[in-house]
């Protein structure tokens, strides 16, 4: 049995706002989290990267081009430049002027709200193992500082095992979750080594047999990204959390 007490979600089977606000607002922005809160969500997911000068901020892609009016690799730019980037206009002109938020900005926004957060550590896709581990360590340290004293601690997740190892070193008291498109045969070994609280799997992998197997190990299970109401209902009934863009459902 794997110990998952520290920082696990108090309600494993719940809808989780994907990238802050699902389809309601520009992803990974404060506007997204506000939209999610207004929709009644109490659990949120976002992506965390590091600026060139080590400031954790919210962005999914390596490049700024898809979601912002800027271009180029985000992690190569200092926070002073990233903080001025418009992250809303490409989604909808109504959100023009919405900025890339830092992790500290997010912590300030949710302070006072009873919400659960999943912070996905997103090293650049070509980062080596040492850099991935360093990102995990530094994001975890900042999370510990920003949520010090909070009754609801965030969960740190990543596809990157080195990033999770770094997070484990820096913040052993924060819950960790491993993201997998397809669960490998050695998943129990990884879960034990990283003292995982949860697995985050592609919804297509969440068969009744696998759900039972994961839960029997004492792990929470969450599925991404699920928008079909029937599939959401099936997973929630099985005790599986659901990352979703369909917040109005």
**Residue 113 falls in the annotated catalytic set:** no
Give the active site residue among 14, 34, 52, 60.
60
Neighbours of 121 (CB within 10 A): 28
Pairing relationship of beta strands 56-58 and 116-121 according to DSSP bridges: unpaired
Instruction: Residue 30: name the closest of 16, 20, 15 by CA.
Output: 20
Which helix (H) or strand (E) segment holds residue 221: the answer is strand 220-224
| Closest among 20, 22, 29, 3 to 117, alpha carbons compared | 20
Tokens of 187: 């998943």
Q: Is 60 a catalytic residue?
A: yes
Q: Which of 15, 18, 122, 200 is catalytic?
A: 18
CA distances (Å), origin 75, targets 92, 161, 236:
25, 20, 36
- Judge whether 1 and 215 are in contact, CB under 8 Å: no
Bridge partners (DSSP) of residue 17 are 44, 244
Let me know: does 190 contact 196? Beta carbons within 8 Å: yes
Cβ neighbours of 15 (radius 10 Å) = 23
Catalytic site positions:
18, 60
């Amino acid at each position: 049995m794997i110990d998952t007490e520290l920082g696990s979600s108090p309600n494993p089977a719940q809808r989780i706002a994907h990238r802050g606000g699902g389809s309601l607002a520009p992803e990974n922005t404060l506007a997204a989290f506000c939209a999610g809160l207004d929709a009644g969500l109490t659990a949120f997911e976002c992506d965390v990267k590091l600026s060139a000068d080590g400031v954790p901020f919210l962005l999914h892609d390596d490049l700024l081009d898809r979601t912002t009016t800027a271009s180029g690799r985000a992690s190569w730019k200092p926070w002073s430049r990233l903080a001025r980037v418009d992250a809303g206009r490409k989604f909808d002109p109504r959100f023009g002027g919405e900025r890339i938020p830092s992790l500290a900005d997010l912590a300030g926004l949710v302070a006072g709200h009873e919400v659960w957060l999943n912070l996905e550590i997103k090293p650049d896709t070509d980062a080596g193992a040492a850099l991935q581990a360093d990102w995990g360590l530094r994001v975890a340290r900042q999370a510990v500082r920003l949520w010090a004293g909070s009754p609801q601690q965030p969960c740190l997740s990543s596809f990157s095992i080195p990033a999770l190892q770094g997070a484990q070193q820096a913040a052993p008291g924060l819950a960790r979750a491993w993201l997998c498109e397809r669960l490998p045969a050695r998943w129990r070994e990884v879960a034990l080594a990283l003292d995982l609280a949860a697995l985050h799997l592609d919804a297509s992998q969440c068969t009744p047999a696998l759900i039972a197997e994961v839960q029997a190990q004492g792990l929470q299970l969450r599925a991404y990204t699920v928008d079909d109401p029937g599939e959401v209902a099936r997973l929630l009934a099985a005790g599986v959390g659901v990352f979703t863009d369909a917040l109005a459902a």
